Amino acid sequence: MSIEIGLSTIDTAEGRQLLASIIDITERVRAQARVALAESRFRRLLDASPVGIVEATSEGKVSRANDAFYRIVGWDRSSFSSERMDLRKITPEEWIGVTDSSRRQASKNKTSALYEKEYWHRDRSRVPVIVGLSIDEAAPEDVIAVIVDLSEQKRTDQLLRESELQLRQVADAMPQIVWTARPDGRLDYYNRRWYEFTGTSPGATGDESWIPVLHPDDVQYCLDTWYSSVASGQPYEIQYRFRDSKSNVYRWHLGRALPLRDEAGQIVKWVGTWTDIDDHKRLSEELEQRVTARTIELKQSLLEKTTLLQEVHHRVKNNLQVICSLLSIQMESLDAALAEPLQVAHHRVLAMSLIHEQLYQSDRLSDLDFGAYIKLLADQVFAAYCVDSRRIRLEINAEPIRLPLSDAIPCGLILNELVSNSLKHAFREDCGSGIRISFKSIGSDRIELCVADDGVGLRGSFRIEDSESMGLRVVRTLIQQLGAELEITGDGGTSFSLRWSPRASS
């Protein structure tokens, strides 16, 4: 318990007496302790605040201030005094911002004022601050100021301004037109190159700054493309024409822009360029025109050469047929034994004539469909030997493989010799069977031509290298010319199989 004792003297009839009063002040002491604790906590809270808080008189005398205030001005509590301020030629009002103008502003706003100023630091540097001034209407002679140090913000702003200046200098030095736009698509910056090219007033931005210098035919396409990219957030790319203010001529430009996004993925800015591609585009168009004209010339030349080659093949075919006719006339004047060599020669010339006839009729002169040629040649040889198809059958299984002329002629002569040889020697008069011709691909780059019959076959010791037959000697030479491998079997008939890699068409 806490008590308060009061003593006093009083004069009575009995004489002077001592009067004592005892009061229980426990609750008052507790209340004072709570107030002291609250003030202590509030003081700690003020001192922990990052902003300066000052209580002062209307004359500018500081009665109380927190640590942040002393830190801002560079003084400590013990050395901070009005005398020191006077020595530094700084009035007390300058420390807290209590001036006639600020007081008038506070009076106008009834209780408060907010403005920006600079303080002198103890080291003679200037400290930029924002001062919030509050005047109590009940005690207008007292003021409370809240002071925020702007030094870091000012330094950051200065760095940003310097960085922006450097970026603008770099952009102005570029040969391209550089521009930026807001997220809504409104252009808000051009580099110097744009104003030099278009002759527009510096500072003009937005659609109204670039639409007037755009070619009328490109305006709607440009607007649709640009605002489509703005809506979708996709990169922007387009070609259009801007008017050069110096020559008053529209020049082609390539426009490109990319969106810049924040951490949340929202677009905060568009950055784009316009690159003059007029010279390149005109050169490309000129080259394209030249290529087109040259292509037409080459096609015409190719057509003429194709016609010429077809005529050559036609004449070669006609000349070979003349030779065949002469051989036929010669054979008619000879007996069968003497006419046989001429008949063989006739068949060979006819085989070559058939190749040139196919080439003349084809739309491709460098090669021919040898599968179709096999059928024509075999039918021609059977007709020449007057073969009874009921006695000797012809079976053909030929793939539509195209051979170059350098392979087709020797291969055709080989086929003529092998079919003729089978018809002359493989079958007896009283029996027959058939001749089978196959032509197919084996593997990725190999071809096989096989001529087989069901005739009497070959003797066991047969070797084509030892044969004295004119036809087989021709076959052997042509096989070497083709670079082919030959396989011969003579059991149950005779089979000649050639395998080789065809040469490329030239």
Buried b (16+ CB within 10 A) or exposed e, 450-472: bbbbbbebbeeeeeeeeeeeebb
Alpha helices in 362-401 (DSSP H): 370-384
Q: What is the CA radius of gyration of the chain?
A: 56
The model's pTM: 0.41
CATH of domain 366-506: 3.30.565.10
The mean pLDDT of 75-101, rounded to a whole number, is 48
Three-class SS of 103-124? HHHHHHCCCEEEEEEEEECCCC
With bands split at pLDDT 50, 70 and 90, how would you rate the model's confidence at 93?
Answer: very low
| Pair 352, 409: CB distance under 8 Å | yes
The pLDDT of 63-79, averaged and rounded, is 75
- Collapsing DSSP to helix, strand or coil, 199 comes out as coil
Residues 259 and 268: their CA atoms lie apart, in Å, by 8
Share of the chain above pLDDT 70, in %: 67
Residue 199 CA to residue 210 CA, distance in Å, equals: 11
Highest-scoring range by mean pLDDT, 32-46, 160-174, 411-425? 411-425
Task: State the pLDDT confidence band at 363, using cuts at 50, 70 and 90.
Answer: low
Query: For 50-149, which CATH class?
Result: alpha beta
| Greatest pairwise CA separation for the chain in angstroms | 198
Higher per-residue pLDDT: 305 or 386: 386
DSSP state of 218: G
Residues, the chain: 506
Q: What is the pLDDT of residue 261?
A: 92
Q: Give the CA distances from residue 402 to residues 111, 352, 406, 436, 472, in Å, rounded to whole numbers and listed in that order.
A: 104, 16, 12, 20, 25
Sort 329 into a burial class: Cβ within 10 Å, 0-12 / 13-18 / 19+.
exposed
CATH fold label, 168-276: Beta-Lactamase (3.30.450)
- Provide the residue type at 154 as one letter: K
By C-alpha distance, which of 463, 452, 399 is closest to 426? 452
* DSSP characters over 325-372: HHHHHHHHTS-HHHHHHHHHHHHHHHHHHHHHHHHHHSS-SSEEEHHH
**Environment class of 190 (CB within 10 Å of its CB; exposed 0-12, middle 13-18, buried 19+):** buried
Which pLDDT does position 432 carry in this prediction? 62
Q: Which residues pair with 453 in a beta bridge?
A: 435, 494
Among 220-234, 331-345, 380-394, top mean pLDDT goes to 220-234
Confidence at residue 235, expressed as pLDDT on a 0 to 100 scale: 93
- Kindly provide the b/e burial profile for residues 87-104, where b requires at least 16 CB atoms within 10 angstroms of the residue's own CB: eeeeebbbbbbbbeebbe
Which tokens in the block code for residue 415? 């086929």
Q: What is the torsion angle, in degrees rounded to the nearest 10, for the CA atoms of residue 213, residue 216, residue 222 and residue 223?
A: 90
Tens-place pLDDT, residues 149-203: 888 888 877 777 776 777 677 767 777 888 889 999 998 888 888 888 888 877 7
Q: With bands split at pLDDT 50, 70 and 90, how would you rate the model's confidence at 317? A: low
Q: Residue 374 — φ and ψ, nearest 5°?
A: -60, -45
CB pairs under 8 A, 24+ apart, for 205-210?
210/242
* pLDDT for res 84: 39
- Asked whether the predicted pLDDT for residue 82 surpasses 70, the reply is no
The predicted structure's pLDDT at residue 367:
74
Estimate to the nearest angstrom the gap between the alpha carbon of 195 and the chain centroid. Answer: 31
**Separation between Cα atoms, residue 148 and residue 475, nearest integer Å:** 109
Instruction: Tokens for 467, please give them.
Output: 């044969």
Q: What is the mean pLDDT of residues 49-76?
A: 73
What is the structure's pLDDT at 255? 92
Tokens for 340, please give them: 């046989």
Sheet holding 177-181, edge to edge: 187-190, 177-181, 267-276, 249-261, 236-244
Using the 8-state DSSP alphabet, how is residue 493 labeled? S
Given a cut of 70, whether residue 211 has pLDDT beyond it is: yes
Q: Which long-range contacts (CB under 8 A, 24 or more apart) does 248-256 make?
A: 250/215, 251/276, 251/278, 252/276, 252/277, 252/278, 252/281, 252/282, 253/177, 253/277, 253/278, 255/222
